[in-house]
Structure 1
């Protein structure tokens, strides 16, 4: 078989928030027994969701689909305040698997509103994280911007006290450009002390930037509704290397490898390492694979579990 260099990006795959969210569901199943209900996909990955379903997790989109008397887990993306309030009103036992870095943004939003500032939130309309963050503050307290064009259409009155926050899974480069445009237009706008884009998103994008110039094709393992995975495809494309988003190895078409000598592989923060190995094995069915790993950063972050599961 013709040779193929496979350049594997690191870090890749699961982040600390995803590890924590999955462990919360698994421990809840051990403690309470099946079924354990989960509001929304715990993380955006079909393989992970199906694996938890097989263990007894039941996924629903809204709380009204959860019957009385069973535990419910809130997804890693975060939920509006009204959701836990509703759960408490119904007497439901609930576990909040919101990533702590998303929870940090929620607290920042509350503080900015308390300080009398209107928030410009940089994010993707309809994403669960955006919906959850908007749900932390009163209606009308935040304005969503997705692009530089959106910044150009803002029309706040002179003297309006402003702050900006961002979704945690955005493009680092795009967000920097939007923040620069906001600061230019509104010099007094207040931002977070440290960027809201999470360490895992930044590290995975940096790793793709590092390997893409050496590759003829980059494969990103992730889901179409996974913001951080889609951003990895964009990062590779902007580096001049074509990229494809795949769910797992079976999505790969052999003709994609025509004329390809080096393939880069990465995985979004919701994709398990088993899918990375599956993809490399699949490539090995068609080509003689030489595998190398490029390490762009080391990650040692660990988040604590909810007290209900550790006491």
Structure 2
């Protein structure tokens, strides 16, 4: 059996930065460090950080007075930032810079007098944070039908922004529907969607074209991981989203000559390694990797973690 790895796969720069923020905060300020919501959508990553002293909470009210607080990579609403200030919690923001960019885009469009439409999934942490970062009504759409149901006249000036982890193809379809429904529409280019989402979707399409089975390593609450599996299925290849090698069903390998493996942007390499090891226990296999885009993007850490190690706990902003 051949095992072929997609390239790129796994951690993106935003996830790498978010995890490093928690690790450095633990080193700098000591345990416990409190994180509002999962820092990234991967149980393995969260459990590792928890073992080092990170405490994950749903609400700021669960955090003791004065405790170091970190906001997750998905971003938070301004109301959460204000609550932290009112409680005098020292905070570090691990929001992915590409998510912050969407917030800036939305505010820019509001100042320009446009009605803002957010293309995203209801209830997703990033969507909740984005809506809460823009001081104007934001209209959430996920499908073409949602666009048709928008309660605006055809000449309403519209601007769209997007959840960063969405499918490029699905986003393009919704954007097209906006242009068909309204005569004055602006927004970022489709290629302006998160580079990691685009690169991993392109890679999984290439992978599926040569595979009999596609395995996507990632969490079920990870939007970008779920979409990678959907793309494999749409291309007519049996595709499964798995947490690690222990989730493999040996029956999946019947009449399979090539297994393609990729990983969502919040899945660490060690989980991919566990899948390869599990497959090799079931069948003799060789491993190769596709050529792909080399990702060199790095994001700077927050200023509080770039200072010398003698720095004090940052004051609440």
* Aligned pair partner of 1:152 in 135, 148, 153: 148
User: Who is 2:250 aligned against?
Assistant: 254
Which SS does the other structure have where 1:156 is aligned?
A: coil
Deviates more, 1:35-44 or 1:256-265: 256-265
Gaps of 5+ in 1: none
Write out per-residue CA displacement over residues 155-210 of structure 1, whole angstroms, 9 at most, x where no aligned residue. 30244221001100011111111111111211311112564420000000000000
User: Who is 1:77 aligned against?
Assistant: 74
Are residue 280 (structure 1) and residue 280 (structure 2) matched?
no
Write out per-residue CA displacement over residues 260-287 of structure 1, whole angstroms, 9 at most, x where no aligned residue. 1110000000000011111101100011
Matches within 5 A, 1:159-238: 159-192=155-188, 195-238=191-234
Which SS does the other structure have where 1:182 is aligned?
A: helix
Which SS does the other structure have where 1:266 is aligned?
A: strand
Which SS does the other structure have where 1:173 is aligned?
A: helix
Which SS does the other structure have where 1:34 is aligned?
A: coil
Write out per-residue CA displacement over residues 97-139 of structure 1, whole angstroms, 9 at most, x where no aligned residue. 0000000000111111111111111000000000000001235
Report the aligned-residue RMSD.
1.1
Which SS does the other structure have where 1:292 is aligned?
A: strand
Are residue 35 (structure 1) and residue 35 (structure 2) matched?
no
Instruction: Give, in whole Å, the separation in 2 of the partners of 1:137 and 1:20.
Output: 24
Gaps of 5+ in 2: 308-317
Which SS does the other structure have where 1:274 is aligned?
A: helix
Change (3 A) 1:49 1:127: same
TM-score w.r.t. the length of structure 1 is 0.96
TM-score w.r.t. the length of structure 2 is 0.95
Deviates more, 1:263-272 or 1:106-115: 106-115
8 A Cα contact 1:78 1:98, kept in partner: yes
Instruction: Give, in whole Å, the separation in 2 of the partners of 1:147 and 1:158.
Output: 18
Which SS does the other structure have where 1:131 is aligned?
A: helix
